[in-house]
Amino acid sequence: MGHIMRLWVLSSALVETLLFSGCLLGWNSLSPVLRDMGVMSQDCHSDPEQSGAWSNRSAGGAQHIPSADLSLFLPFALMAQGLGGSCVLFSSLMLPQVLEDVGSLYSALVMASFTASATVFTIFKVIFYAGVPMVPIILGYGAMSCAMFLNCTLCWSLNPTGKEDENIYSVRLRLNCYEAVNKKKPQEAEWCQKSLKHKFQESLKDRERILSQRRKLSFKRPDVPAPSPLLESLTSPTFTLHLLSDSTLLTWIYFYVASVNLHLHSQMDDPDQPDLYSSVFGALQMLGLFTAPLISILLNNHRIRKRARNSGLTTARNSSRRACSIKRLSAIYALRCLVVICFGISCLIPSLNVQVVSFILHVIMRTSMFLLSSTLYLCMFPSPHFGALIGINTFISSILSLVQYPIFLLFTGPLESDPFWIHSVFLVLSLAAVALPLHLTVKNNRQHPHPLCRPIPLRQVTPPTKT
């Protein structure tokens, strides 16, 4: 693949991730549009004042269109958006594995584009209130997705590196006696070559039969230890603590976005205030384009991936680099715990101005989750387990997000739409995440103690014997 084609594939993958990765959190920006169009109106209570307030907010002449039929397609649209967006995201994340010399900073840019993809729905809302009907907007978005499909089909080659023969190996054998012959004098070497030719003449005539008897050669590297089983990594305290902290944080983030959205809809005293804050929150998603590369640089991710690939380094250098990576990772996890605590405290304050700060912290946490997870798995676990651990982490976190429904029932029922106690419980649960950086620090000190703390080996010297 040429240089220009590589640049086009990488840049277009970032744009496609930004536009089509399907961040479902952005659907909250479309809820005012869906209300104006009458979607899900059969499940809402009839309130003439509120419906009039919503319809009067339409600046460009958007009208209240009854849609009791379009509501049936909304769950399927959400499922299709999530499934297709996941395919786009993970396809872009696999590009550094397919193309050579692509740094880990590109993976951070992919995650940044995924985090900022929720802004697309805010742009839809702005275009809709500018007077453009929703059907042309959706059709134009679908045409862009078809262009993405054509781009992937035409530009993504099945073998982009151009190394068709990289899996073909050859073994070259030679006789030791021939090397001994070359070291002799020219006259003796000529005589020895004639002697060898006469000696092995019969064997050389039958070389095909001799070589056909042993076509399989087995090679063994005794220096490479046997890989540890996957179950050992899954049951390790490191993976368990990380899974619990990430699942709790992801569930909290989902509830926070839903509660902020409901809080915006309840501000009906000033009809323009929900629109203003909704647009501000949607624009703040673009912060992910800056926070993800910054977090990747702080993690020193490119050196960690290079260390994982260069297995030919000496044991001492590998051990020291791994110790430095774990120290840096522990510090970043401790910093994230501080951000989570600040986020929880700001969530307890019922003010939209303070929630702007909370939303910024929420974007930082969302952006850092995948980067921290991948770095942790590269540092602490065998490289063959990386894909399985990422997949299991994503699956379990998604399963635990199903508790959103009972939490929402508790929020809208007994708590009367007051998220204070739910945020308080999540804040207390998130304090347990401090155990992960402490565990990493203790484990790193045990495996790589300070040189002054290492025992000095003593060797008994026997006195020389007198003759």
One of 1.10.1060, 3.40.50, 1.10.3210, 1.20.1250 is the CATH number of 232-449, namely: 1.20.1250
358 burial type by CB count under 10 A (0-12 exposed, 13-18 middle, 19+ buried) = buried
Task: Please check the confidence at residue 221 and state whether its pLDDT lies above 80.
Answer: no
pLDDT tens digits for range 372-429: 888 888 888 888 888 889 888 888 877 877 888 889 889 888 988 889 999 999 999 9
> How many CB atoms lie under 10 A from the CB of residue 48?
7
- 424 or 78, higher pLDDT: 424
Residue 212's pLDDT band (cuts 50, 70, 90): low
CB 211 within 8 A of CB 342: no
Question: 437: which 2 tokens?
Answer: 């950086």
Contacts of 162 (CB under 8 A, 6+ apart): 1
CB 184 within 8 A of CB 192: yes
Amino acid making up residue 25: L
Task: Please check the confidence at residue 347 and state whether its pLDDT lies above 90.
Answer: yes
Task: Please check the confidence at residue 337 and state whether its pLDDT lies above 90.
Answer: yes
User: Does the pTM of the predicted model rise above 0.85?
Assistant: no
Residue 56's pLDDT band (cuts 50, 70, 90): very low
Task: Please check the confidence at residue 224 and state whether its pLDDT lies above 90.
Answer: no
Q: What is the distance between the alpha carbons of residues 13 and 31, in angstroms, rounded to a whole number?
A: 28
DSSP for 406-432? HHHHHHHTTTTT--HHHHHHHHHHHGG
Domains of the chain by residue range: 1-160, 232-449
What's the pLDDT at 66? Answer: 47
- Indicate the DSSP class of residue 382: -
- 175 or 267, higher pLDDT: 267
Task: Please check the confidence at residue 7 and state whether its pLDDT lies above 80.
Answer: yes
Task: Please check the confidence at residue 366 and state whether its pLDDT lies above 90.
Answer: no
> How many CB atoms lie under 10 A from the CB of residue 160?
17
Question: Residue 352: how many CA atoms within 13 Å on its side-chain side?
Answer: 16
Question: Residue 235: how many CA atoms within 13 Å on its side-chain side?
Answer: 5
DSSP for 170-230? ------HHHHHHHTS-HHHHHHHHHHHHHHTHHHHHTHHHHHHH--------TTSPPPPPH
Return the top range by mean pLDDT from 105-119, 221-235, 312-326.
105-119
Q: Comparing 202-216, 247-261, 353-367, which segment has the lowest mean pLDDT?
A: 202-216
- Indicate the DSSP class of residue 64: -
Task: Please check the confidence at residue 465 and state whether its pLDDT lies above 80.
Answer: no
Calculate the CA 336 to chain-centre distance: 17
DSSP for 184-196? S-HHHHHHHHHHH
In the block, tokens 């030791």 appear at: 176
Q: What is the distance between the alpha carbons of residues 18 and 286, in angstroms, rounded to a whole number?
A: 10
CB 238 within 8 A of CB 376: yes
Question: 25: which 2 tokens?
Answer: 């959190």
Task: Please check the confidence at residue 51 and state whether its pLDDT lies above 50.
Answer: no
pLDDT tens digits for range 304-326: 555 555 544 445 555 666 666 78
In which element (H, E) is residue 300 found?
none
In the block, tokens 């479902």 appear at: 24
Q: Average of pLDDT values for 103-129?
A: 84
Question: Where are the alpha helices (H) located in 21-103, listed in sequence order?
Answer: 31-37, 48-56, 74-93, 95-98
Q: What angle do CA 337, 355, 364 make, to 5 degrees?
A: 40
Task: Please check the confidence at residue 452 and state whether its pLDDT lies above 60.
Answer: no
Question: 112: which 2 tokens?
Answer: 């940044």
